[in-house]
């Protein structure tokens, strides 16, 4: 078994969240992220014989029977479900203590009930989390967090987009984390009493290695950075359910073309992700975050 470890995980952010992110009037009629995007990821993982982690907005499991059906299929296939809060408030860290407690506990309870045992992992909306929230998570039984994304290019791009939106009179529900987050540790570690498994940024200038950046660089771009990726002992590759959605096939509102994930043909996305995940499977010990966490960050 390789001494290097890797995980593939999917944030299941439904389309209505992207309306909020881009400051548009919300529409929750299309659940293609669950019925199309997530199912395509599950099929790809099954084809490659890998197990992934899916971070779920628990309210979706109560909103749509189809989402609960897909989530059950994921569990039966051996994938891990983690919490992405109950309702995915982008300003999660700015909510009251009672609201934060409710988001954490309701999500934990809803998803654990579906899985049949307590879930272990958490990812915050917008990658933004605080030490008091991490401490509260530990008390609720979470054993790891995977919210840290210490990526200067992402942070600066997000700040720029949010600033441009304000100038145009639109307001995103996203919030900007403190600047120091860009230079936090990029390797697994203990953080406020809980294991932290950061989303991968590559060494040096810390460019992101996530689904969205892969789609922007394409297969030739990925092959160019592959030696850089191979120098990384732990790869935590984050996708979003929308990454395997198709604007036309899935009947998605063209206004959401602001998402770069929707600008690439589905066949090209599948070919790219198949190549990347195959490389991780063959070169690293690839497993769910739940299974990797105790070995990556041993008990002190």
CA distance to 193, 197, 232, per residue, from 189 (Å): 10, 7, 15
The domain that contains 32 carries what CATH number?
3.20.20.370
Note the pLDDT tens digit of each residue in 29-79.
Answer: 899 999 999 999 999 999 999 999 999 999 999 999 999 999 999 999 999
Query: From CA 272, how far away is CA 269, in angstroms rounded?
Result: 5
Q: Is residue 300 included in any domain, yes or no?
A: no
Q: Is residue 101 included in any domain, yes or no?
A: yes
The SS3 of residue 234 is: strand
The arithmetic mean of pLDDT across residues 1-21, rounded, is 92
The SS3 of residue 47 is: helix
Q: Is the pLDDT of residue 1 over 70?
A: no
Number of domains in the chain: 1
Q: What does 48-106 look like in DSSP terms, one character per residue?
A: HT---EEEE-HHHHHH-HHHHHHHHHHHHTT-EEEE--SS--TTGGGS-HHHHHHHHHH
Segments forming the whole domain that contains residue 140:
5-294
Joined tokens for residue 144: 């790891």
Q: Is residue 299 included in any domain, yes or no?
A: no
pTM attached to this predicted model: 0.97
Note the pLDDT tens digit of each residue in 101-150.
Answer: 999 999 999 999 999 999 999 999 999 999 999 999 999 999 999 999 99
Q: Is residue 27 included in any domain, yes or no?
A: yes
Show Cβ contacts of residue 157 under 8 Å, excluding neighbours closer than 6 positions. Answer: none
């Amino acid at each position: 078994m390789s001494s290097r470890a890797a995980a593939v995980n999917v944030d299941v952010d439904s389309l209505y969240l992207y309306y909020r992110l881009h400051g548009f009037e919300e529409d929750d009629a299309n659940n293609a992220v669950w019925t199309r995007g997530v199912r395509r990821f599950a099929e790809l993982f099954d084809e490659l014989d890998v197990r992934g982690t899916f971070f779920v907005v628990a309210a979706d499991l109560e909103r749509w029977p189809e989402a609960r059906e897909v989530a059950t299929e994921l569990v039966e296939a051996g994938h891990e479900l983690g919490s992405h809060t109950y309702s995915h408030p982008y300003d999660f860290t700015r909510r009251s203590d009672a609201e934060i407690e409710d988001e954490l506990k309701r999500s934990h309870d809803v998803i654990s009930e579906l899985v049949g045992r307590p879930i272990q992992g958490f990812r915050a909306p917008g990658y933004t989390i605080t030490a008091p929230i991490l401490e509260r998570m530990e008390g609720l039984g979470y054993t790891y967090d995977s919210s840290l994304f210490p990526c200067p290019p992402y942070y600066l791009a997000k700040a720029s987009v949010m600033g441009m939106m304000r100038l145009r009179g639109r307001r995103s529900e996203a919030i900007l984390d403190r600047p120091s987050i860009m230079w936090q540790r990029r390797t697994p570690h203990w953080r406020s009493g809980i294991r932290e498994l950061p989303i991968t940024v590559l060494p040096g200038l810390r460019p992101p290695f996530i689904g969205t950046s892969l789609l922007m660089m394409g297969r030739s771009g990925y092959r160019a950075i592959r030696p850089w990726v191979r120098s990384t002992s732990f790869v935590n590759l984050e996708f979003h359910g929308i990454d395997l959605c198709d604007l036309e096939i899935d009947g998605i509102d063209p206004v959401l073309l602001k998402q770069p994930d929707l600008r690439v043909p589905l066949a090209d996305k599948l070919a790219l992700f198949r190549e990347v995940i195959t490389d991780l499977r063959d070169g690293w010990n690839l497993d769910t975050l739940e299974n990797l966490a105790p070995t990556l960050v041993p008990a002190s």
